[in-house]
């Protein structure tokens, strides 16, 4: 093919090329190793000087024009492809969007916040204490005798410490077994009259079952003044329970022993299922065991740097109570296994 024909032919072919692949083939057909234009360059050496120069120049011109046209067409194809892609990618704004699943609070957090709100509205402040606690605050300061069974291995997690047995109770550490230690911590720093609740995580070295975990949540309450009595306690707790369970109910006090109160009692409330008639939940008694409570022991006041009313008529008196948040949450949401709270099982958590 001579140069003229090549020019006509390439222009036609480039014009008809539909895609990049076709364009690539055209390029190779003319400028590849054995390509038409390449061959013209190869044949130059056989020609006379004069012809070589003339044809060489024309061939160069043709080559540059050809490359330029290929380049232009390539850009055109690319542009068309881009536009086509955009057209295909058109967004259908009427389609429903992807749902973002929102989480919710854990049942224990929910009940804790609800309880905090109720007590707040009755003038109680929220106090805190450390989860790693000294034996002094956890036991001795709360009037636990040195040989009280609660201190034994089956109940308490003791921290490993060098020469532990030689250390004083204030330097020996345990994972707190209740949030009662915060009573002393708070009274050391705040002068009564006072009302606090202390929610928090506590630890017991126990075998787990449907009703027991080695890690659970407590809420301690404390109200101290010049004339705070069991009558105040009863009124506050009944009000609290009625608001929490949103139903009318009664409580009863049974004498019991806790080292840090005197007198001490355990509190039962009307069974939520049978309303006192007796059913499987309350073992046919009509009552559910709820919490421990009592009048703050004079030694606890003394250990907090306060004068108890037993020593001086002008001294302080008040009540304390301790309640398990897990148990309350189980009653409120009808959960039958405490271990579910800590299982991380979404199917359980999503039900609340
Ligand atoms: N601290 C007790 C426990 O661990 C609960 C308790 C009982 C707290 C009686 C009190 C109380 O303040 O007066 O089970």
Atom of ligand 1 nearest to the CA of 322: 8
Whether residue 290 contacts residue 267, with contact meaning beta carbons closer than 8 Å, is answered with: yes
316 lines ligand 1 (CB under 6 A): no
Q: What is the pLDDT of residue 153?
A: 66
Quote the ligand 1 centre to 180 CA distance (angstroms).
Answer: 7
Q: What is d(CA 23, CA 76) in angstroms, rounded to the nearest whole number?
A: 11
Is pTM beyond 0.85 here?
no
Atom of ligand 1 nearest to the CA of 319: 13
Q: What is d(CA 298, CA 307) in angstroms, rounded to the nearest whole number?
A: 8
Quote the ligand 1 centre to 115 CA distance (angstroms).
Answer: 17
Of 25-34, 225-234, 268-277, 318-327, which gets the smallest average pLDDT? 268-277
**Long-range contacts, 112-121 (Cβ 8 Å, 24+):** 112/199, 112/217, 112/219, 112/325, 114/244, 115/197, 115/199, 115/219, 115/240, 115/244, 115/325, 115/328, 116/197, 116/199, 118/240, 118/243, 118/244, 119/195, 119/197, 119/221, 119/240
Q: What is d(CA 105, CA 158) in angstroms, rounded to the nearest whole number?
A: 32
Average pLDDT over residues 296-323: 97
Average pLDDT over residues 118-131: 98
User: What digits encode the pLDDT tens for the residues 222-255?
Assistant: 999 999 999 999 999 999 999 999 998 899 999 9
200 lines ligand 1 (CB under 6 A): no
E strand or H helix that includes residue 254: strand 251-256
User: What digits encode the pLDDT tens for the residues 153-202?
Assistant: 668 999 999 999 999 999 999 999 999 999 999 999 999 999 999 999 99
Quote the ligand 1 centre to 245 CA distance (angstroms).
Answer: 22
Percent of the chain with pLDDT over 90: 69
pLDDT, greater one: 146 or 110: 110
Q: How far is CA 317 from the centre of its chain?
A: 40
Q: How far is CA 108 from the centre of its chain?
A: 12
pLDDT, greater one: 152 or 184: 184
Whether residue 132 contacts residue 143, with contact meaning beta carbons closer than 8 Å, is answered with: no
Of 140-144, 207-211, 316-320, which gets the smallest average pLDDT? 207-211
3-state secondary structure of 37: helix
- For the record, the structure tokens of 170 come out as 């204030």
Task: For residue 214, give every residue at least 6 positions away whose Cβ sits within 8 Å of its Cβ, in sequence order, or none.
Answer: 203, 204, 205, 206, 208
Q: Name the average pLDDT for the chain.
A: 92
Q: Known binder of ligand: residue 262?
A: yes
Q: Evaluate the omega torsion of the peptide bond into residue 176 and state whether it is cis, within 30 degrees of 0.
A: no
């Amino acid at each position: 093919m001579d140069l003229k024909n090549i020019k006509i032919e390439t222009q036609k072919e480039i014009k008809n090329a539909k895609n990049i692949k076709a364009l690539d083939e055209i390029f190779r057909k003319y400028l590849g190793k054995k390509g038409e234009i390449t061959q013209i360059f190869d044949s130059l050496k056989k020609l006379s000087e004069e012809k070589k120069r003339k044809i060489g120049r024309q061939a160069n011109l043709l080559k540059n024009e050809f490359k330029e046209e290929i380049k232009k067409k390539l850009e055109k194809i690319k542009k068309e492809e881009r536009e086509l892609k955009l057209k295909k990618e058109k967004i259908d704004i009427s389609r429903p969007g992807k749902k973002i699943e929102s989480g919710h609070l854990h049942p224990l957090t929910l009940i804790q916040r609800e309880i905090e709100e109720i007590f707040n509205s009755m003038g109680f402040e929220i106090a805190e204490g450390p989860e790693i606690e000294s034996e002094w605050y956890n036991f001795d300061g709360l009037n636990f005798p040195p040989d009280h069974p609660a201190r034994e291995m089956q109940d308490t997690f003791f921290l490993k410490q060098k020469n532990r047995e030689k250390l004083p109770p204030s330097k020996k550490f345990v994972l707190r077994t209740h949030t009662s230690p915060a009573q002393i911590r708070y009274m050391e720093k705040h002068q009564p009259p006072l009302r606090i609740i202390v929610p928090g995580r506590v630890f017991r070295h126990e075998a787990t079952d449907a009703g027991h975990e080695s890690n659970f949540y407590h809420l301690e309450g404390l109200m101290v003044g010049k004339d705070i009595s069991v009558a105040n306690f009863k009124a506050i707790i009944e009000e609290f329970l009625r608001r929490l369970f949103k139903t009318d109910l009664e409580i009863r006090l049974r004498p019991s022993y806790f080292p840090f109160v005197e007198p001490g009692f355990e509190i039962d409330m009307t069974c939520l299922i049978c309303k006192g008639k007796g059913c499987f939940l309350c073992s046919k008694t009509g009552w559910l065991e709820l919490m421990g409570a009592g009048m703050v022991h004079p030694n606890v006041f003394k250990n907090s740097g306060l004068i108890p009313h037993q020593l001086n008529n002008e001294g302080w008196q008040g009540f304390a109570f301790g309640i398990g948040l897990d148990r309350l949450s189980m009653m409120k949401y009808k959960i039958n296994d405490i271990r579910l709270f800590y299982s991380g099982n979404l199917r359980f958590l999503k039900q609340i």
